[in-house]
């Protein structure tokens, strides 16, 4: 690649940061929020892009082969890491032009840290892994109950008196008081019950347990449950504000991943096991 062929004056219009310090701050924040959720190769590639984005702050001209050589990973791993960084909204790509106006090289641009975007960009395959691709419908969208005549109901009551009803009922017909508190935290049940039925609350808790496993959190501590409740409330609010572009469970998964990641960091720091250092100068 001939660097002199690139129109740097035009290219600086795409700069995403006003200074290297500002870029470094965003990289630190990204690492803090994703390091428990992604392979180490993703962190290493982000750090490498940061070190290679100084001439035009936030913009890297490095080819995948160069990044692979510099980090020691294979081209396949580099490609996967870049795709993951782009999926999370951490980087994007820009097609540059020469001074003559002809298409030139494609560069990677590190984007300023944005927690909301990070939540929204959680990829669908992560949600599928965590929740089995289940769909959720808010309770206000449930079909209304159609009431039958009293006479018809009395006849059905007489017939029902002579048989067990449990096999004829679905889990959706059980109210939230039937959800075992030994399986689903009672505080979460109370928080979710105005919006979802029993089956949905149970499935949402499945997301919680999977994100806890991903974050290596074993116990449902007060810190964890407060993070879970806050994540749920945030998702409900954003859903009602029509700010969620994907699905309710996708957004909940993203918010929860960040919140429980922060909870894990607090746990590690409280145990004296982790001291942050300057990642960019590794």
275 in a structural domain: no
Residue 174 CB neighbour total at 10 angstroms: 14
d(CA 36, CA 265): 9
54 with 103, same domain: the answer is yes
36 with 166, same domain: the answer is no
Q: How many domains does the chain have?
A: 2
Domain final position from 113, 144, 161: 113
According to the model, what pLDDT value does residue 78 have? 94
280 in a structural domain: no
128 with 265, same domain: the answer is yes
Q: Is 188 helix (H, G, I), strand (E, B) or coil?
A: helix
104 with 225, same domain: the answer is no
43 with 81, same domain: the answer is yes
According to the model, what pLDDT value does residue 8 have? 67
202 in a structural domain: yes
106 with 130, same domain: the answer is no
According to the model, what pLDDT value does residue 102 have? 72
According to the model, what pLDDT value does residue 98 have? 66
pLDDT tens per residue across all 282 residues of the chain: 444 455 667 677 888 898 999 999 999 888 887 877 788 999 999 999 999 888 889 998 888 999 999 999 999 999 999 998 988 889 998 877 666 667 667 788 999 988 767 666 654 545 545 555 444 444 443 334 344 445 555 565 555 555 667 777 777 677 788 888 888 999 999 999 999 888 889 889 988 988 888 888 888 899 999 999 999 999 999 999 888 887 888 889 888 988 898 888 888 877 765 545 454 554
Tell me the Cα Rg of the chain. Answer: 25
104 with 141, same domain: the answer is no
279 in a structural domain: no
Q: Is 107 helix (H, G, I), strand (E, B) or coil?
A: strand
199 in a structural domain: yes
- Tell me how long the chain is: 282
168 in a structural domain: yes
64 with 157, same domain: the answer is no
91: tokens are: 């980087």
DSSP 36-89: TTS-HHHHHHHHHHHHT-TTTTTEE---HHHHHHHHT--HHHHHHHHHHHHHTT
Residue 65 class from Cβ within 10 Å (0-12 exposed, 13-18 middle, 19+ buried)?
A: exposed
153 with 16, same domain: the answer is no
Domain final position from 51, 81, 113: 113
Domain final position from 67, 93, 113: 113
Here the CATH number for the domain that contains residue 65 is: 1.10.10.10
pTM score:
0.48
25 with 83, same domain: the answer is yes
Look at the block and give the residue holding tokens 């927690």.
115
128 with 260, same domain: the answer is yes
Domain span at 204: 124-270
Residue 47 class from Cβ within 10 Å (0-12 exposed, 13-18 middle, 19+ buried)?
A: middle
119 in a structural domain: no
45 with 145, same domain: the answer is no
Q: Are 60 and 49 a contacting pair, CB within 8 Å?
A: yes
According to the model, what pLDDT value does residue 197 have? 87
According to the model, what pLDDT value does residue 130 have? 52
């Amino acid at each position: 690649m001939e660097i002199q062929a690139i129109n740097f004056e035009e290219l600086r219009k795409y700069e995403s940061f006003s200074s290297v310090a500002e870029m470094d701050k965003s990289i630190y924040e990204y690492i803090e929020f994703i390091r428990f959720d992604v392979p180490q190769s993703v962190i290493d590639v982000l750090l490498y892009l940061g070190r290679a984005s100084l001439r035009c702050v936030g913009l890297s001209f490095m080819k995948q082969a160069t990044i692979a050589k510099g980090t020691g990973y294979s081209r396949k791993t580099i490609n996967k890491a870049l795709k993951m960084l782009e999926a999370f909204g951490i980087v994007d790509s820009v097609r540059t032009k020469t001074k003559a106006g002809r298409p030139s090289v494609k560069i990677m641009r590190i984007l300023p840290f944005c927690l909301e975007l990070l939540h929204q960009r959680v990829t669908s395959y992560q949600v599928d892994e965590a929740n089995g691709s289940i769909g959720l419908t808010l309770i206000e969208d449930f079909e209304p109950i159609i009431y039958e005549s009293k006479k018809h109901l009395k006849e059905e009551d007489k017939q029902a008196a002579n048989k067990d009803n449990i096999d004829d009922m679905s889990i959706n017909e059980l109210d939230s008081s039937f959800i075992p508190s030994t399986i689903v935290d009672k505080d979460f049940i109370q928080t979710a019950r105005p919006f979802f039925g029993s089956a949905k609350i149970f499935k949402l808790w499945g997301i919680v347990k999977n994100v806890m496993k991903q974050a290596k959190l074993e116990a449902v501590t007060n810190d964890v449950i407060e993070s879970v409740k806050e994540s749920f409330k945030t998702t409900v609010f954003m859903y009602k504000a029509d700010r969620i572009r994907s699905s309710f469970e996708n957004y909940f998964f993203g918010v929860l991943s960040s919140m429980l990641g922060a909870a894990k960091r607090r746990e590690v720091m409280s145990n004296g096991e982790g001291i942050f250092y300057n990642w960019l100068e590794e």
